[in-house]
Each structure stands twice: as C-alpha cells, then as structure tokens.
Structure 1
Amino acid sequence: MKLFVTGVGTEVGKTVCSAILTKYFKADYWKPVQSGDLGFADTMKIKSWVGDEAICHPETYRLQLAASPHQSAAEEGILINLNDFKLPETQSNLIIEGAGGLMVPLSDEEFIIDLIEKLNLPVALVVRNYLGCINHTLLSLMILKQKNIKLEYLILNGNFPKDTERIICKNIQQKTKILKIPDLEKITKDNIESITKQLEKIENA
C-alpha cells in the first residue's frame, strides 16, 4: 500500500495525519519536498511522534525558505524537476506527504497534483474546519475527479459542524473511506498511539 497525503490547504494537519497513517499501516514515510523549517522538518516530526522504529526516507528537495516550493527553489537557484522524484524502494507500506494542497506549484509549469500523477498514487485528502473549507474541499475533489486520481481516504481532522461535514461527504468518490481524527490539544507520541488504536477498533468493529 502506497498513499499520498495531501490537504485542502496549508496548516490543516497533514503531518499529524501522516504520523497516524504511518503508525496505523506500519508504513515507511517519505516527504518529497521540504520547504523551510529544516531544523524540525516534517520527517523529524514523524520520527518524534511515531517513534524511532519509523523508517523515513530522505527528501528529494530540502529548501531553506518557508514558502511555496517553486519560490523556495528559485531563491536557491534551483529548478524542481518532476523526473528527480523516485519512489523509495521498500517492501513496506509507504506514506508520502505532499506540501500544502494539490495546486501548490513545484515550478512555473508543474504542481503537486502533477507529482501525484507521475507517481501514480491514490490520495488521502486532509480537511480541517475553517471558514472556506467547503469551497477548498470541493475544488480539491473536483480536480481529483478530473485527473482520474483515486481518493482512497477523506480525513476529517478535528471537529466539524454537521452541515459542513454532510456537504463535504456527499461529494466524495463512491468508494472513498472516511477517517475522523479527533482534535489534539497536544501532539505527542502517546496521543498518536491512542488515536491509532481507536482507528484499529473502528476497522475491526
């Protein structure tokens, strides 16, 4: 199983959800592009939250500026090339975490969704409740459908008004599975472990 984790925008909890999925599926983790925060990059967060047993593959691009990858790369005189991205070789399940949302540019011509297409992966779409999340979610669902990319999981990260949840869930692809992740006051290894166990109980019910 290989799964690409993306979001309806930035700061919606992709890394937390990736940690939970990595733990749940006993998977390896790979962040193809890290833009900024190199001192505590997402790969380092996964190690911290999942544990030292988590196998994390090195990023293809590590960029200094905390900005869109195309801008971060330009600051360093780099042009991100889709052909540089190769799936890590592993016999394990693999969770791949994108940068921001589907239309985040990697270059002037190519976007995160193009990377998903190139790698030929199904998607887990992370949604968090905020004013505008319905619009952003439905636009994300629309482009996934247009590109014929399978939406394996819709992840509702945190609490949602019932009317918001209803309109989002009625627009997902037919076989998409819905995961609900509770709000976390503090992200710790123990909390990640607890949520993973809750998911296992739901799957086995």
Structure 2
Amino acid sequence: MSERIFITGIGTGVGKTITSACVTEALQADYWKPIQTGLMEGTDTDTVHALLSNDVSVCHPEAWKLEAPASPHLAARLENKTINPDAIIARVESYTPVNRPLVIEGAGGLLVPVNDHYFTAELISDLGAKALIVAQNYLGSINHALLTSAMLKHLGIPVLGWVFTGDYHSNEDDIVKWSGYPKIGRIPWTEHVDKSFIQQQAQLLSASLHTLLA
C-alpha cells in the first residue's frame, strides 16, 4: 500500500497537523511536511513525531524551513529565497515506503502559493498524491469546502475524502452530499492532545482509511 496521501485543508488552522498525526498512526505510515513556515512556534514534524505511538512510522525532514508565519512564497521572499518545487518532488520517491503510505502535510489550502508561479494544488498533482481534505465548521466553511472540492475535481486530483474536526455540525453532511466525496471520519476538539488521544482517533479512522486505500 505505497500510497501518497496529501493532507490539505479548506483554510488555515482547521486541524491538518492533528489529522496528519491520526492518519499516520492509523496507517503506520511515514510523515513528511515539505514546507514549514513559522518556526517560532516549532515544527509540525516535531509535533507529529511526539504524538505517534507506533515504532514503524518515520518522520522525514522538511525540504524548506522558513522563519515567518506566512505563506511559503512570502516567508521565502522575506529571507531572499525562492522555493523550487523540483527540490521537493525529487525527494518523494526516496521518502515513500515500499509497503506503507506516505502522509504529506501541506501548508494551508490548495491555492496557497509555493512561489510566485506555483501553487499547492500543483504540488499535490506533481507528487502523485491523493488528497485528504480537512474541514471545520465556521461561518463561511461551506463555501470554502465546496470551492476546495470543486478545484480538486477541476484539476483531476484524486480525493480520498473528508475528515471533519471540532464540534459536529450538520453542515458536514451537506458538504459530503454536495461534493460527492466520502466522509472518512471526524476528530473532536479536545483540550489535551496527547498520544492516547491520537491513538483513539486513529483507531476510529482506520477502517475507513484502509477501505478507501484498498
């Protein structure tokens, strides 16, 4: 099951990193965050590594680490750098396990710019990955969710389905219906995200993930 699963979101702060940890744990996959911005808050790679319980998953080093908490193209520009997607794409073969998936966490949503001419959606396609969309309920989230699913369809990127985070709202059932993409599961909000929580949520997502990847 050497799949590449790209975790994208309908916006920023919707729970991509926690979802990445849960999916990585559920599949005993490897994890990779190609571009990390906002280093003052630590890295998502460190967060995921600290939350995993299995002794199989490998967390691979970032291709780019940038200080500013901004979109990749802007964070790189502030350091007089330009992100070259080829340097990311060149690593994916060696990072993809032979018999397990590789979970790739993106920065923000589909149209977050990687550089002045290249966007996250293009990276998903060039990495040969399937998208897993993370969504959360907030004012405007239906619009953001359906725009995300429409863009993925337009670009012909295969989609595993939705993971919803936070408190349940009937909006998520409407999003599943209107998008045509299945609901993989949901990860509830908690004050204490630890290994036990990730293990519990991974078990709840596991059956759906394995079925969709079969």
TM-score between the two structures when normalised by the length of structure 2: 0.88
Q: Deviations over 1:53-84 (max 9, x none)?
A: 33111111111111110000001111111111
**2:36 match: secondary structure:** strand
- The 1:96/1:195 distance shift into structure 2, 3 A limit, reads same
Query: Which AA in structure 1 matches 2:47?
Result: K
Q: TM-score, normalised by structure 1?
A: 0.92
Map 1:23-34 → 2, pairs under 5 A: 23-34=25-36
**Equivalent position of 2:80 in the other structure:** 77
1:200–1:125 distance in 2 versus 1, CA, 3 Å: closer
Identity within the alignment, %: 37
Equivalent residues of 1:24, 1:200 under 8 A apart: yes
Structure 1: 5+ residue runs without aligned partners?
Answer: none
- Distance change (3 Å), C-alpha of 1:167 and 1:201: closer
Structure 2 residue aligned with 1:134, among 138, 142, 161? Answer: 142
What is the aligned counterpart of 2:179 among 172, 175, 186?
172
Change over 3 Å in CA distance of 1:27–1:38 after alignment to 2? farther
1:48 corresponds to: 50
CA distance in 2, matches of 1:79, 1:203: 35
Q: Deviations over 1:2-61 (max 9, x none)?
A: 200000000000000000000000000000000012562000001111147331111111
CA contact (8 A) 1:153 1:179 kept: no
Give aligned pairs, total: 202
* SS of equivalent to 2:108: strand
Question: What's the C-alpha RMSD, in Å, of the aligned pairs?
Answer: 1.9
Map of 2:193 onto structure 1? 187
Mark the CA change 1:129 to 1:41 in structure 2 (over 3 Å): closer, same or farther.
same
Cα distance change of structure 1 residues 203 and 78 upon mapping to structure 2, 3 Å threshold? closer
Counterpart Cα distance in 2 of 1:202 and 1:96: 19
1:99 corresponds, among 104, 107, 127, to 107
Gaps of 5+ in 2: none
